[in-house]
Amino acid sequence: MKKTGVVLMNMGGPDSLDAIQPFLYNLFSDHDIIQIPRLIQKPVAYLISKIRAKKTKEYYEYMGGKSPQKEQTLAQAKALQEALGDKYKVVVAMRYWHPFTEEAIKELFKENVEKIILLPLYPQYSKTTTGSSFNEFFRQYKKLNKNIPVIKINDFHNYPTYIKAMVENIKANLHKNYKDYFFLFSAHSLPQKVIAEGDPYKSQTEKTVQMIMKHFPNQNYKLAYQSKIGPVKWLEPMTDEVIKKLAQEGIKKLVVIPVSFVSEHSETLYEVDYQYGKLAKELGIKDYIRIPTLKDHPIFIQALKELVENNVE
């Protein structure tokens, strides 16, 4: 039976403490993220990864020795496979750690595939995430000399069923009266230069937040950014600075909503939960809640199913 292949794409994360440095090396070697002369990119990536690995190790020790992203993405793939049925073959392609894109393609072609749909698990498009995953897929795919049509799903930042999943997830995890809380959306930051060159990530992230907040009328909220690296100017305001400002304004009940992540990793489990949670407590914010990422939330899986089926047609 001929099948449609579905490639779920994500960044990936180290699956052990020993994997931290090679994971970071793969990340910093990516010219779609760090645009330095290609001739020196790999030596520079090696140097940065050695330095960063020492600092980052404490993140993963706090998280139990690894990132849970692989397991959570595989669970998403399993749920999506069950939702789509036998006419589809769902595989996982991670950008910087196993299972790599090359491994995903090999797994895909164990079946009689007649069409491929690329579905990155980044709700908002950026050339540094979705674009990089696409580029890596086509680099590996060209090696096979196959002539199978490939359909790209660029983003789903404003897709109604995805927005519904986000809204229901917020409501389910705010057991108290949500109106008492300030909503702080936190997205991964990007260098301002990337946005100035036309990357739609910032505007799409803002659109996602606007669409979610239509379901919470008259609610106080703000969008901030996290995970800045290096000295260049990145998207602001930064999440920790906003938390400080809110505390100064007397906010005592704060809910932080990750808006660019659909699975847990160091940005949520260490930065948002531990670092920002500790900061909020020290500043007198008594009630600090973090909304979990969607993972395999049934409505989110339904959104992914719809996206695939809509694009097959």
Q: How is 146-184 classified by DSSP, letter by letter?
A: ----EEE----TT-HHHHHHHHHHHHHH--S-GGGSEEE
In the predicted structure, residue 128 carries a pLDDT above the cut 90: yes
Only one residue has tokens 């180290």, namely: 14
Whether the pLDDT of residue 98 is over 90: the answer is: yes
- At 4-18, the pLDDT tens digits run 999 999 999 999 999
Residue 303: what residue type? Answer: A
Token output for 63: 């998280």
Q: Residue 170: what pLDDT?
A: 97
Average pLDDT of span 272-301 = 98
CATH of domain 160-290: 3.40.50.1400
Distance of alpha carbon 162 from alpha carbon 310, whole angstroms: 14
pLDDT value at residue 281: 97
Mean pLDDT of the chain: 96
pLDDT digits (tens, 9 = 90+) for 190-224: 999 999 999 999 999 999 999 999 999 999 999 99
Q: Is there a contact between 183 and 174 (Cβ–Cβ < 8 Å)? A: no
Note the pLDDT tens digit of each residue in 155-183: 999 999 999 999 999 999 997 678 899 99
At residue 219, the pLDDT reads 95
pLDDT band at 63 (very low <50, low <70, confident <90, very high): very high
* Cβ-contact 239, 257 below 8 angstroms: no
Spell out the residues 6+ positions from residue 188 whose beta carbon is closer than 8 angstroms to its own: 225, 226, 227, 260, 261, 267
Q: Which helix (H) or strand (E) holds 193?
A: helix 192-196
Token pair, residue 260, equals 């660019």
Q: What are phi and psi of 238, to 5 degrees?
A: -80, 145
List b or e across 131-169, with b for residues whose CB sees 16 or more CB atoms inside 10 angstroms: bbbbbbbeebbeeeeeeeeeeebebbbebebbbbbbbbb
Neighbours of 118 (CB within 10 A): 22
Query: Which DSSP helix (H) or strand (E) runs through 224?
Result: strand 221-226
- pLDDT of 33 above 90: no
Which residues, 6 or more positions from 302, have their beta carbon under 8 angstroms from its beta carbon? Answer: 83, 161, 165
pTM of the model: 0.96
Average pLDDT over residues 186-191: 97
